[in-house]
Amino acid sequence: MADTMRAVDIKNGTGPATSLYINSSTPKPKPRTTDAIVKIKCFGLNRMDLLQREGHYPVPPQAPKTLGVEFSGTIESFGSDAESGFKKGDEVFGLAYGGAYAEYIAVSTHMLMHKPEELSWEQAAGVPETWITASQAMYLVGGFTPGKTILWHAGASSVSIAGIQLSRADNATAIYVTASSQEKIDFCVKQLGATAGFNYHTQNWSEEILKATGGKGVDIIIDFIGQNYFQGNLDAAARDGHIVNLGTMSGTKLPAGVDIGAFVRKRLRFEGSSLRSQDENYQGTLRNTLAEHALPKMREGSFKIPIEKVFPWEEVVKAHQLMENNQTKGKIICRID
């Protein structure tokens, strides 16, 4: 068996999208005791990949340098103490600390799921990171229960696409989104079931949220933006509301004049969350939650897994450039043939 494989690498360690290339002499991973070795069919892109490529993401110490955290493929081999329920040749998809932009990956069996036959390899590769992140933010961190209202920023992003559908299926009273265009808002409302959406380029979304809710605001806000939305989130949150921050796309430094009085006046909670830094037992719990609540609806087709575009992995540069354009309405997937 060969000791090397092909994997996407970065010239000089970090750089722009054009620095990505396929390195044909990458060491093939070896399994730990609880790992499986999976031969990858497809991998999904995530915004953290762009940050990691540029050297701006805190990579967990157990992650390999190769990019990528979600994938689909077939099990080739196991470590000595892998989780029962899997066998060689099984079609699986899963979440990893890194290493998915490659022909093979070593991943804990606690972070694998059997691929339903109803899902394509491309769809399966686009599920783990986004749907697990959405369910973690909404349920475990945000404390969502049926009847609450929720706002998903970046409504046409893959995580929010999952979150909107989870919110609808679990009987949110109202589901609001922000997005950069009317096309994206229509997609969220007409195809995914959001209640209403607001264009952050042309509308004051926090004021619109208050109008839509009769001044009450929303119970849970899921935010990826950070600095630019901090004040708006405080304004749009309901009393005893919970703001869950998953990213800081606009920056981390708050401008002068931010009014934090709402924290006391409304009894708000602001909580940051990440998935990649969690241990594999925690991620295994999230995997089981996803398998219980989302996979049945994916099999029957009531949960959509929109794919923006599938690239052959030799075009990974184009895939990253497309994600950087911020114009997508679904997952970007690379396929290894």
CA distance 334 to 298: 21
Look at residue 113 and give its three-state secondary structure: strand
Residue 319 pLDDT = 98
| pLDDT digit string, tens, across residues 141-153 | 999 999 999 999 9
> Do 286 and 132 meet the contact criterion of CB atoms below 8 Å apart?
yes
Q: What is the structure's pLDDT at 1?
A: 55
pLDDT value at 186 more than 90:
yes
pLDDT tens, 111-126? 999 999 999 999 999 9
CATH class of residue range 131-272: alpha beta
pLDDT of residue 283 exceeding 90, the answer is: no
What is the end-to-end Cα distance of the chain in Å, rounded?
19
- Do 67 and 100 form a contact (C-beta atoms < 8 A)? yes
| pLDDT value of residue 274 | 82
Mean pLDDT of the chain: 94
Q: How far is CA 118 from CA 152, 153, 292, 299, in A?
A: 28, 30, 16, 6
CATH number for domain 4-127+305-335, candidates 3.20.20.10, 2.40.30.10, 3.20.20.100, 3.90.180.10:
3.90.180.10
Are 81 and 34 a contacting pair, CB within 8 Å? yes
Query: What is the residue extent of each domain of the chain?
Result: 4-127+305-335, 131-272
Question: Do the bridges between strand 91-95 and strand 70-78 make them parallel or antiparallel, or are there none, so unpaired?
Answer: antiparallel
Residue 235, burial from CB neighbour count under 10 angstroms (0-12, 13-18, 19+) = middle
Report d(CA 156, CA 165) in Å as an integer.
Answer: 12
- Tell me the three-class secondary structure of 247-303, residue by residue: CCCCCCCCCCCCCCCHHHHCCCEEEECCCCCCCHHHHHHHHHHHHHHCHHHHHHCCC
